[in-house]
């Protein structure tokens, strides 16, 4: 029929239609399966974009027919970004920014990036295992992308080790292939779990897990020593831990000095792969000898020993007799020592003695009973005779027999004997004690002298003199000093030796004292005569043997001048002497009364008088 048109209207455009303009920036945050695309809207075009984002593929020149993101409409120029996901690891990707408006779609420049990839490693068997170290081995089969910044070994004791556990770091890896890494600070006989690892920017990958056990010596216990004989014994032990690897030898080691090792005598029971008890026969021993024993087990790492035990092969005891001490008059202390207890232990030990020599158990003896330790012992010998020589030997008895020590001799002590003689040379403050040692005793005295007091029965706790040691008997004197005048003392001679102190019988004496006199004025004075007067105030001790007057013409008369002697005096009181001759008329005379006893002469006060003229 034909074409028909409507009415015509007109319009005027404000701006000519045009495409937007975009630029693609380098991709950031590249991972194994994601990345961040960045772009800039340089010109919105006309009209504004209804969609914008990024397109990508792995072949190049991507369009919206490929993978894309859509950030929606855009109303302003400027930068924008989008996350690219579901990428293929370790693959080159091509990206372009895009923007679409009513005019069409425009693309920015193309940029490329390669997604990352984890490395790949294999864990190899551990080598060079020792008690505290081992060598971990691994292989990097793929470096990943980018290259590893670290690689090495991780380990622990519980399994599935990671970098949070123990690890080594061999640094950057520039190529695939095997590597080694030393593990140190390990503990012996411990099972460790190991994985190789490699780390790059994408993360850390681990190889499969392997395990190993560090090496170590075995553990052994030395049990009791049994079946001890004259020349053999059985050592018993227990292997409590085989160590790693298994022992190649085990048994017992022994010597006579202590801490035996495999450098000493040993038994070898061969290799073993099981723990538990074992017995090992020790032979070739010497009788009555102490041996030190340890169980041992040896593997390639080394030798382990059990604790040390000792035993003594059977035999009679051995004793030594020491010098006798604490010798008294009827007792003495015997001293001896076990140099070897013998085996079995002694059932009896002590000393034997007699007065003829080579004593045995048929003579006098002591019994200190069984003995279980070597070393010194003492025993007391009683019932001895004073001043007698005895011969002594130590002895010990066990199941193997009786053993005697060397012979020693000693002589029992004897107390000395002393008598007290009369005291002589008595004065006011001194006197001479006299005594006689009639028997020196045994041994010789170390001290002798006299003892005294004012109460009776004096001892060395009172006043005493020590005249030193004595080697001969006989009389002696000992001067007592510091005495009080006119005092009665009791005296005994004494002598001391190792057996003790003995005293003689008691004697007494009284120290002397001077008399006391006063000179009185004379009377009946004539040209050649006068009567002298005096008074005995104290007789002293002993009584005066003479008393009277002394006179001269110069003063201080004494018995060396003229004197009268009225004889002994037995009582105090006045006395007189008549001078009838020897005086001269009209002469001054000086007079003193006097009295004399064993203590000496005492004078009274001096008085003078003048005779009358003729």
C-alpha torsion sign, points 144, 146, 147, 153: negative
Tell me: the pLDDT tens digits for 74-125?
999 999 999 999 999 999 999 999 999 999 999 999 999 999 999 999 999 9
Residue 13 has pLDDT above 60, yes or no: no
Least confident of 462-471, 475-484, 581-590: 581-590
573 within 8 A of 583, measured Cβ to Cβ? no
Question: What's the CA angle centered on 327, arms 322 and 329, to 5 degrees?
Answer: 150
Average pLDDT over residues 133-142: 96
**Alpha helices (H) in 307-464, listed in sequence order:** none
Provide the residue count of the chain.
614
Tell me: the pLDDT tens digits for 173-195?
999 999 999 999 999 999 999 99
324 within 8 A of 332, measured Cβ to Cβ? yes
CA distance 182 to 20: 62
Q: Say what the pLDDT of residue 240 is.
A: 95
165 within 8 A of 157, measured Cβ to Cβ? no
Q: Say what the pLDDT of residue 580 is.
A: 83
Residue 402 has pLDDT above 90, yes or no: yes
pLDDT tier at 583, thresholds 50, 70, 90: very high
**Alpha helices (H) in 326-382, listed in sequence order:** none
**HEC states along 312-329?**
ECCECCEEEEEEEECCCC
Residue 64 has pLDDT above 60, yes or no: yes
171 within 8 A of 86, measured Cβ to Cβ? no
Residue 11 has pLDDT above 80, yes or no: no
pLDDT tier at 14, thresholds 50, 70, 90: low
Q: Say what the pLDDT of residue 312 is.
A: 86
CA distance 354 to 357: 6
Question: What's the CA angle centered on 66, arms 61 and 72, to 5 degrees?
Answer: 105
Average pLDDT, the chain: 95
Tell me: the pLDDT tens digits for 537-548?
999 999 999 999
CA distance 11 to 31: 53
Average pLDDT over residues 565-581: 93
Tell me: the pLDDT tens digits for 208-261?
999 999 999 999 999 999 998 889 999 999 999 999 999 999 999 999 999 999
Tell me 612's DSSP state.
P
Q: Say what the pLDDT of residue 229 is.
A: 87
pLDDT tier at 331, thresholds 50, 70, 90: very high
**HEC states along 1-24?**
CCCCCCCCCCCCCCCCCECCEEEE
- For residue 437, count CB atoms less than 10 angstroms from its CB and return exposed for 0-12, middle for 13-18, buried for 19 or more: buried
Tell me whether the omega of the peptide bond preceding residue 252 falls within 30 degrees of 0, making it cis: no
409-to-244, 323, 356, 385 alpha-carbon distances in Å: 66, 8, 10, 14
Do the strands 51-57 and 67-68 form a parallel or antiparallel pair, or are they unpaired? antiparallel
Q: What whole-number percentage of the chain has pLDDT above 90?
A: 92
494 within 8 A of 504, measured Cβ to Cβ? yes
Instruction: Report phi then psi at 408, rounded to 5.
Output: -125, 160
Q: Say what the pLDDT of residue 316 is.
A: 86
Residue 37 has pLDDT above 80, yes or no: yes
Q: Say what the pLDDT of residue 582 is.
A: 84
411 within 8 A of 389, measured Cβ to Cβ? yes
Instruction: Report phi then psi at 197, rounded to 5.
Output: -145, 160
In sequence order, the 6+-apart residues with CB closer than 8 A to the CB of 289 are 256, 312, 313, 315
From the list 470, 462, 461, the residue with the least C-alpha distance to 437 is 470
Question: What's the CA angle centered on 15, arms 9 and 20, to 5 degrees?
Answer: 130
Q: Say what the pLDDT of residue 8 is.
A: 87
CA distance 138 to 125: 8
Q: Say what the pLDDT of residue 50 is.
A: 96
Tell me whether the omega of the peptide bond preceding residue 47 falls within 30 degrees of 0, making it cis: yes
Which residues of 429-515 form beta strands (DSSP E)?
A: 431-439, 447-453, 463-464, 474-480, 488-497, 500-503, 507-510
């Amino acid at each position: 029929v034909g074409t028909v048109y409507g009415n015509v209207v007109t319009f005027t455009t404000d701006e000519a239609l045009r495409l937007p303009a975009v630029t693609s920036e380098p991709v950031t945050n590249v991972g194994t399966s994601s990345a961040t695309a960045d772009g800039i809207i340089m010109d919105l075009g006309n009209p504004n974009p209804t969609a914008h984002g990024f397109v990508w593929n792995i072949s190049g020149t991507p369009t919206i027919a490929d993978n894309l993101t859509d950030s929606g409409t855009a109303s302003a120029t400027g930068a924008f970004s989008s996350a690219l996901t579901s990428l293929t690891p370790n693959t080159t990707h091509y990206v372009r920014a895009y923007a679409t408006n009513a005019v069409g779609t425009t693309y920015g420049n193309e940029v490329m990036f390669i997604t990352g990839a984890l490395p790949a490693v294999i864990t190899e068997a551990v080598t060079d295992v020792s008690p505290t170290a081992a060598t971990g081995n691994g292989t990097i089969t793929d470096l990943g992308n980018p290259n590893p910044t670290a690689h090495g070994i991780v380990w622990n004791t519980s399994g599935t080790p990671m970098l949070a556990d123990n690890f080594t770091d061999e640094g950057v890896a520039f190529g695939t292939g095997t590597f080694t890494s030393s593990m140190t600070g390990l503990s012996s006989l411990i099972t460790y779990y190991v994985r190789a690892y490699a780390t790059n920017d994408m993360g850390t990958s681990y190889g499969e897990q392997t395990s190993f056990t560090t090496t170590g010596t075995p553990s052994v216990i030395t049990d009791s020593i049994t079946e001890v004989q004259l020349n053999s014994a059985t050592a018993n032990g227990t292997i409590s831990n085989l160590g790693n690897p298994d022992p190649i030898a085990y048994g017992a080691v022994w010597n006579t000095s202590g801490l035996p090792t495999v450098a000493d005598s040993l038994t070898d029971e061969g290799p073993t792969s099981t723990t538990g008890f074992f017995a090992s026969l020790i032979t070739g021993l010497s009788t009555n000898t102490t041996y030190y024993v340890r169980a041992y087990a040896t593997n390639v790492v080394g030798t382990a020993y059990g604790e040390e035990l000792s035993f003594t092969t059977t035999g009679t005891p051995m004793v030594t007799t020491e010098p006798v001490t604490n010798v008294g008059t009827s007792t003495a202390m015997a001293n001896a020592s076990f140099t070897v207890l013998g085996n079995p232990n002694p059932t009896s030990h002590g000393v034997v003695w007699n007065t003829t020599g080579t004593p045995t158990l048929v003579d006098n003896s002591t019994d200190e009973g069984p003995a279980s330790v070597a070393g010194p012992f003492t025993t007391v010998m009683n019932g001895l005779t004073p001043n007698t020589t005895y011969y002594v030997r130590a002895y010990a008895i066990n199941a193997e027999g009786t053993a005697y020590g060397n012979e020693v001799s000693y002589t029992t002590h004897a107390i000395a004997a002393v008598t007290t003689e009369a005291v002589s040379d008595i004065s006011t403050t001194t006197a001479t004690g006299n005594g006689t040692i009639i028997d020196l005793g045994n041994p010789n005295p170390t001290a002798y002298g006299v003892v005294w007091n004012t109460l009776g029965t004096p001892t060395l706790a009172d006043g005493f003199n020590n005249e030193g040691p004595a080697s001969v008997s006989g009389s002696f004197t000992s001067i007592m000093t510091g005495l009080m005048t006119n005092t009665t003392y009791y005296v005994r001679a004494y002598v001391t030796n190792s057996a003790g102190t003995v005293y003689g019988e008691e004697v007494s004496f009284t120290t002397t004292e001077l008399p006391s006199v006063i000179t009185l004025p004379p009377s009946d004075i004539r040209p050649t005569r006068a009567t002298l007067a005096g008074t005995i105030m104290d007789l002293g001790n002993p009584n005066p043997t003479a008393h009277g007057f002394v006179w001269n013409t110069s003063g201080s008369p004494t018995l060396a001048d003229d004197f009268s002697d009225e004889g002994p005096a037995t009582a105090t009181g006045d006395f007189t002497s008549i001078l009838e001759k020897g005086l001269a008329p009209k002469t001054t005379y000086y007079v003193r009364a006097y009295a004399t006893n064993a203590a000496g002469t005492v004078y009274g006060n001096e008085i003078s008088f003048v005779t009358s003229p003729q």
